[in-house]
């Protein structure tokens, strides 16, 4: 299992403007991550991606602990926090500290999916949101297609809805859909009458085929797969908001998602820093602790600075969202790209400072586990998903150049 070690967060970061209810959420998420995720993360990540390996227990426990209710208002049956997005970002950070697989499952279950429903009619919302918050059903959001990654435009989205009675039949293929192999329903971006729209599709029906899970570089605890829609039925009432609003809804959901993914980067980066500091203090070379080597002191001082800034950037984007900005830019784009970049940067140095131990997941001699090799693999994904970092930079540039 993952060993809890001294956290350096308090040494290098002082929060400002963080409400105490958010600190309470952090404590709850941290307790869960430390006592329930950490013990099983190695086993979870060592098994290849199979439907049977989905961490259903942890997903259910997050529901019991009320974590899926955090992003929602009391009226919606949620936790009713003053700064729900900030609290959700903190949950992501604490989950990703031990497992980015769990963090991204959380993201898809209640942040992306739930955000889509906030654009839906009261009736539609109330027929899905309670199941999301209770964890009784697993949700997913299907935007990406084999020939359209970050490019979300009507011309490039090939999934189409054809009228059939009081609803539609969907045809198309979605790719890299997180949670798809275990999900009960999916929000699907498709074209209705040639305009981008978002519909809710029951996945447990004929006309839906979910491929075997993809095998990935890291994050084996979360499953991605293709969803093939071959005439799946969608009742007209399952249209979110109205036809033509699909892109707006997707961007709205991805705004929350991107803040959350930035925060997951911060969590991974913090874990890398803590593991590295621990190692540097205990490992001796040439008669001195690694922590006495100026080269590593300066490298990790730089990383610590980057982590502190990335964390504030995510919190700032979240707070602006909580204060009413639907699209808090450029902070959201900055938080996503910078938070995830910092994680991959420090993961590389974390492996390096561990030397040979950074490259092993399990030492043959005594079965000791080392987490940094997993973090090295895990941290690369977030630079890509929910809009590659290049797309984020392009969004910042567009704001800057006024286009």
Partner 1 sequence: MVRPTRLQDILYHDWLLPQEARSVRSEIRRFVDEEVMPEADNLNTCIEDAAAFPRRLFCRMAEAGLFGVPFGVECGGRGLEYPLCAATVTIEELAYASDGLAAIYDDHALLPGAALLHGSRDVRRRYLEPLISGSSIACMAITEPHAGSDLRADTIHTHAVRDADTYVVNGRKRFITNAPVGDFMTTLFVIDGAMAMLVVDLHASGITVGPPDHKTGNRVQLTADVWLEDVRVPCGNLLGEIGKGLHIALAALTWGRIVIGASGVGMAQAALDECVHFMQRREMYGGTLGDLQYWQLRLAERATQISNARDMCYKAALLYDRGSRKPEPEMAMAKYYGTQVAGDMARDAVQVFGGLGYVTRLGADGSTYRVEQIYRDCKVAEIYEGANEVQKRVIARSLLGSEYLS
In angstroms, what is the minimal distance from the CB of 292 to a second copy? 14
> Binding mask 342-371 vs a second copy (x if CB under 8 A, - otherwise)?
--x---x--xx--xx-xxxxxxxxx-----
Question: What's the rounded Cα separation, in Å, for the pair 26 and 33?
Answer: 10
Which residue in this structure is represented by tokens 């209640």?
110
In angstroms, what is the minimal distance from the CB of 375 to partner 1? 18
Q: Which of 155, 164, 236 is nearest to 194 (CA)?
A: 155
Q: CB–CB of 31/95 below 8 Å?
A: no
Among 216, 279, 303, 316, binds a second copy (CB under 8 A): 216
How would DSSP label each residue in 117-186? HTTS-HHHHHHHHHHHHHTSS-EEEE--BTTBSS---TTT---EEEE-SSEEEEEEEEEEEETGGG-SEE
Among 174, 220, 316, 321, binds partner 1 (CB under 8 A): 316
Q: Which of residues 319-358 bind partner 1 (CB under 8 A)?
A: 319-320, 328, 330-331, 333-334, 337-338
Bridge-based pairing of strands 185-192 and 160-163 is: parallel
In angstroms, what is the minimal distance from the CB of 314 to partner 1? 11
Q: Which of 257, 256, 252, 263 is nearest to 386 (CA)?
A: 257
In angstroms, what is the minimal distance from the CB of 386 to a second copy? 11
* Residue 397 engages partner 1 in binding (rule: CB under 8 A): yes
- C-alpha triplet 392, 146, 201: angle, nearest 5°: 95
- Closer to partner 1 by CB, 18 or 369: give it: 18
Q: Which of 79, 67, 111 is nearest to 259 (CA)?
A: 111
Q: Which of residues 275-334 bind a second copy (CB under 8 A)?
A: 284-286, 295
Catalytic residue list contains 24: no
Among 39, 130, 212, 231, binds a second copy (CB under 8 A): 212
* Residue 294 engages partner 1 in binding (rule: CB under 8 A): yes
* Residue 179 engages a second copy in binding (rule: CB under 8 A): no
In angstroms, what is the minimal distance from the CB of 335 to partner 1? 9
Question: What's the rounded Cα separation, in Å, for the pair 94 and 67?
Answer: 12
DSSP letter, residue 250: H
Question: What's the rounded Cα separation, in Å, for the pair 222 and 10?
Answer: 30
Q: CB–CB of 119/251 below 8 Å?
A: no
Q: Which of residues 107-166 bind a second copy (CB under 8 A)?
A: 144, 147, 149-151, 153
| Beta-carbon contacts of residue 331 (< 8 Å; ≥ 6 apart) | 313, 316, 317, 320
Contacting range for partner 1; rule: CB under 8 A; set: 11-19, 118-126, 147-155, 195-203 = 11-19
Binding positions for a second copy, rule: CB under 8 A: 46, 49, 144, 147, 149-151, 153, 173, 175-176, 211-218, 224-226, 228, 284-286, 295, 344, 348, 351-352, 355-356, 358-366, 373, 376-377, 380-381, 383-385, 388-390
Binding positions for partner 1, rule: CB under 8 A: 8, 11-12, 14, 16-17, 273, 277, 280-281, 289, 291-295, 297-298, 300-302, 304-305, 308-310, 312-313, 316, 319-320, 328, 330-331, 333-334, 337-338, 390, 392-397, 399-402
- Active-site residue list: 386
């Amino acid at each position: 299992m993952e060993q809890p070690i001294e956290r350096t967060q308090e040494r290098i970061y002082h929060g400002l403007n963080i409400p105490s209810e958010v600190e309470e959420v952090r404590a709850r998420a941290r307790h869960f991550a430390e006592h329930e995720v950490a013990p099983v993360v190695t086993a979870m990540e060592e098994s290849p991606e199979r439907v049977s390996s989905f961490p259903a227990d942890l997903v259910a426990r997050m529901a019991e602990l009320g974590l899926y209710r955090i992003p929602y208002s009391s009226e919606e049956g949620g936790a009713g926090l003053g700064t729900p997005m900030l609290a959700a970002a903190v949950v992501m950070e604490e989950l990703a500290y031990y497992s980015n697989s769990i963090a991204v499952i959380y993201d898809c279950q209640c942040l992306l999916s739930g955000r889509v429903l906030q654009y839906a009619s009261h009736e539609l919302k109330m027929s899905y949101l309670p199941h999301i918050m209770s964890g009784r059903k697993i949700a997913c959001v299907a935007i990406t297609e084999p020939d359209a990654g970050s490019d979300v435009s009507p011309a490039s989205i090939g999934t189409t809805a054809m009228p059939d009675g009081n609803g539609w039949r969907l045809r198309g293929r979605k790719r890299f859909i997180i949670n798809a192999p275990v999900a009960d329903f999916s929000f699907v971006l498709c074209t209705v009458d040639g305009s981008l729209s978002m519909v809710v599709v029951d996945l447990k029906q004929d006309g839906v085929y979910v491929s075997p899970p993809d095998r990935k570089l890291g994050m084996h605890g979360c499953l991605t797969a293709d969803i093939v829609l071959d005439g799946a039925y969608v009742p007209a009432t399952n249209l979110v908001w109205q036809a033509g609003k699909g892109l707006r809804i997707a961007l709205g959901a991805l705004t929350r998602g991107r803040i959350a993914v930035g925060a997951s980067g911060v969590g991974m980066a913090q874990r890398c820093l803590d593991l590295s500091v621990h190692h540097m203090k205990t490992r001796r070379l040439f008669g001195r602790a690694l922590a006495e080597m100026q080269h590593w002191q300066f490298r990790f001082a730089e990383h610590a600075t980057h982590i502190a800034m990335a964390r504030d950037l995510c919190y700032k984007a979240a707070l602006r969202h909580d204060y009413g900005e639907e699209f808090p830019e450029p902070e959201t784009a900055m938080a996503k790209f910078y938070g995830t970049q910092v994680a991959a940067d420090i993961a590389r140095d974390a492996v390096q400072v561990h030397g040979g131990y950074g490259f092993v997941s399990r030492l043959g001699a005594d079965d000791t586990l080392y987490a940094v090799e997993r973090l090295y693999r895990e941290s690369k994904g977030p630079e890509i998903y929910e809009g590659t970092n290049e797309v984020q930079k392009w969004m910042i540039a567009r704001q800057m150049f006024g286009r």
